[in-house]
Amino acid sequence: MSPGEIRRIERWLASARVSLAIAALIAVQLDPGTVVFSVWLLGLLAFYIAQGVVVIIFLRRRQQSTPSFRILLHIADIVWPALISVFAVGSGNPFFLFFVFVLAAAAYRWGLWETVATAAGTIFLLWVESFSLHWGLVAAVGRFLQAHGLPPLYVDATSFAPKNLFMRSVSLMVLGFLLGYLAEQQKRLRAERIVITRTLGKARVEMGVSKTLQEIAHELLVMYEAQSLLIASQDASERRTFVGQMQASDEFAVLRWLDPSEADRQIYFADTPATTCFAARNGKVDGPLTLLALNQEGARIHNPSPNFLEPLARRYNFQSVMQVSFSFGQEWQGRIFLLDPAPSREMEEELHFLQEFVSQVGPAVYNVLLLRRLRLRAGAVERARFARELHDGAVQSLIAVEMQVDVLRRQAVTKPGLVVDELSRIQGLLREEVLKLRELMQQLKTLDVDGRRLPRLMRDTVERFQRETGISARFVSDLDELDLPQPVCRELARIVQEALVNVRKHSRASNVVVRFIWEGTLKVEIQDNGRGFPFSGKFSQEELDALGKGPVVIRERVRLIEGQLTIESTPGQGARLEITVPQTQGVVHG
């Protein structure tokens, strides 16, 4: 457990200790017949409450709890209920819950055998008190106190009779074993969840599939203290086989990919009903393999044959091996082999955990594979789009310019008057292509913008648009920053950029205004005085989608931020786009 978790457990136990002592004090007041009232009884209860309060204060002031402090506190918790039990009357013991508390504390702090040892220590103290009562030692202490003017001890030896004490001892031992066992299983389950969660955190898209597999393989290699690990996988469609090997080392191990032949496929993928298994030789180096195997549902397979592992054993010369199968959707399947592992518990439990580990981690690795593939395809589509934009735009225009320059060169001597007009037209064409290339470069840039920087970025974007196009443009906003997630801000910036590109290309406008308006929600308006859209009226996003009207790119980006788009168009007089951004939005990531 981490230091923070240990500190929290100690605080819980300290609070429970005080609460239990106060409850016992109230109980003996309500039912005084269960105890022999004495100053010593009240003093012990008061001391126990004070001890609990001091421990709480100590734990709040200190940042960590040392092992020696916990052991000392645990010993006090064992001794204290044994002492206060001498004031119980009859065969019962109203302070039995204190024994349950100390057993639960041992289970929380440590585990099974520490809890059983605590139960044994408690029973030993109770029997020492029983013998002390029957041999007259407690009575002698009472006479000593009375002789010195101190309050005498009033005790009842009934609850310490051998028959009653024997039954109580059996109950304590059984309870200690039960609480320790449950705590041990709970800690084991928690440890398994921690291992799986830590491993899932290593499955990251930016690392790629090979690096992710290397991280997971290293986790398994260290966890089972194996000498070597093999990952064998095959493509379900093309039946290609890939084998990676990792050797245990002091430094971080590296997954080396081997080059298996087609004949090697049977070594790693021999037919077997076992999904997870453990095989080991019986003492001898070349002795036969004994096999413990589980099927896909985790049930044990009776009398499984280990023959499918013999080719692997001849190739890698191991004494024991753990094997688990995995699959990535319907595309990939494979097996992991841990050679000469050192499991820390009963083998069937280890196999169940290994099967659970792979079933949890496998989909994460498959997601990495799919996302990497999606990124590659998206990158290919994006590159194809930019190549098409360059081919249909800048490249074609430059070819045309080159042809026109060649014509001008030929006519420069015979028709000098045409040269000036043609050069002006070519200059305008080149200026247009420069603007297109700059817009393309803007689309290629990664926008790192948040709510604090978005208004300033929009102001710079509008001013640059005015400088480069000559179209009068203004950005109007009374907001210095916005309380919006970064993905929403990025999409809003792309929407404004796309709208300005459309104004330059299609609107023939001389003036454009971009506004950020806050009316409980953010509204973004882009208005120009150009020729408008080829339709008249005001349309919502649903109407635009149904009619297939309006800019497709802007409609899609508005949908990504779960906003609402409204377009108002007056042909010959201009158009106005209004995007309403909701306060809470779940941005869809494509």
Q: Is the pLDDT of residue 87 over 50?
A: yes
Are the C-beta atoms of 458 and 474 separated by less than 8 Å? no
Q: How many CA atoms are closer than 13 Å to the CA of 461, on its beta-carbon side? A: 27
Tokens of 408: 């001008």
Beta bridge partners of 278: 292, 322
Using one digit for the tens of pLDDT, what is the confidence trace for 393-419? 666 666 676 677 766 766 666 666 666
CA gap 217, 198 in Å, rounded: 13
Cβ neighbours around 365 below 10 Å, total: 21
Specify the residue for token string 């809470």. Answer: 584
Q: Map out the domains of the chain as residue ranges.
A: 3-197, 214-366, 449-590
Q: For 99-146, how does the pLDDT look when each residue is reduced to its tens digit (9 = 90+)?
A: 888 898 888 888 888 899 999 998 898 888 888 877 777 667 767 776
Report which of 539, 578, 543 is spatially closest to residue 558, judged by C-alpha positions. Answer: 578
Residue 204: pLDDT over 50: yes
DSSP reduced 3-state for 528: strand
Residue 590 pLDDT: 33
Is the four-CA dihedral 175, 178, 181, 183 of positive or negative sign? negative
Residue partners of 525: CB distance under 8 A and separation at least 6: 513, 514, 515, 517, 576, 577, 578, 579
Tell whether the torsion through CA atoms of 186, 190, 195 and 199 is positive or negative: positive
Looking at per-residue confidence, does 443 or 39 come out higher? 39
Q: Is residue 313 over pLDDT 70? A: yes
Indicate whether 584 pLDDT > 80. no
Q: How far apart are CA 27 and CA 24, in angstroms?
A: 5
CA distance 549 to 547: 5
User: Which of 99-103, 208-212, 505-509 has the weakest average pLDDT?
Assistant: 208-212
- Residue 519, SS3 per DSSP: coil
Q: What are the start-end ranges of the H helices in 31-95?
A: 39-61, 67-84
Higher-pLDDT residue of 529 and 286 is 529
Contact 514, 496 (CB under 8 A): yes
Tell me, what's the pLDDT at 589? 36
Q: How does pLDDT run across 424-434, given as a tens digit for each residue? A: 777 666 766 66
The topology under which CATH files domain 214-366 is Beta-Lactamase (3.30.450)
So what's the pLDDT on residue 537? 92
As beta bridge partners, residue 476 has 515
Instruction: Give the model's pLDDT for residue 436.
Output: 66
Domain 214-366 identical in fold to domain 449-590: no
- Asked if 481 contacts 550 with a C-beta cutoff of 8 angstroms, the reply is no
**Lowest-confidence pick of 193-197, 203-207, 508-512:** 203-207
Span 449-590: which CATH code? 3.30.565.10
Grouping H, G, I as helix, E, B as strand and the rest as coil, residue 313 is helix
